[in-house]
A and B are shown apart, each in its own frame.
Chain A
Amino acid sequence: MNCDVAHDLLQQCLDGMPIESPEWLDHLRQCSDCRSLANAARRLQDGLHRWTAPLPPPGLAERIAERVLLDRRRVRRRMRRRYAVSLALAATVILALTLRLDWRGKPSGTEPLPRESASLTPSRSPGTNDEPRDKLSPTLSESAAEVGEVFTGLRNQTADETLGQTRRWVSNVPSPALPKFDLTAMGSPTRPLREAGEGVSQGLEPVTKSARRAVDLFLRELPMEEMTN
């Protein structure tokens, strides 16, 4: 038996397997290096029997659990904040698009617009030569116009229904205490809303312009292959 085989047997011994090999014992008698290693292995086994794992300090588990719970709460709060910001951004974009479309598609009269007139064409400032934008922006504008139309339609319908119900309700109540309303003199319900919308969209005009410019810039930066696809 050579020293390598003796070392392998020593490892088996340290793995906890019993070794009954007379050759090994013979080798240990002859080889002082292997004999001293075997003695050291016996000492290592003795030491490992007395070896105790380090005990965690008292209260460590509570501290860990507390920190974990704190971290969970923080993560949850952060997620909620992100969600709220995303929602607010989406609402702002939809509102800006709606107001912009409402403002652009309306003449100065008081009657509500027919739906056909609400469709938009892309805005062009006179004297500017921006052909690539003309090619791309109609798609964007058309989509936005559809969204705007839907919102305007819904709003007008709701207001008209409310007014109709009010008229019926007021005429059916025979009470002298109620003030007399000239119901026929009530104008279109959408008028004050439209006026308010006009004011807001004028205020938001710089925002919508910047957004439009940003979108145009982004579309211009796209490679030609992607645009054709």
Chain B
Amino acid sequence: MEDSSLLNKLNRVTAPLDFESKVMAQLAARRKALPQMRRALRFRYSLAGAAAFLLICFVVVNMFVLQKGPFSEFAGRDTQGTLNPKEFVPITEAVKYSPEIRQASYEPKTAYILEQVSDASNVLIRY
């Protein structure tokens, strides 16, 4: 290619006269700073390690040491016979169905089936 040979015509530069001395001076300075840099790096790594260790400890303690017993649910408590029916005050709530009934003109006919969803004995639930 014609232009690639032209690239050879571009000015070539050389290093400044004090280049080597500057490099050697920087080398000495960096060598001197190297132990300090390594110490700082080690400190940073140990800090990160300590943080990671604390996090792992926190997770382990939460998972195994502070583990709580099995939760007994309301329905379960009933089956275990721990419930005292006297603790509950029966409430009879009047249910108003009129706002629930929507216009049949724009909605398909819907059958609402009301069923008991709680496993608790129906003795405790009063409609």
Co-complex (A, B): no
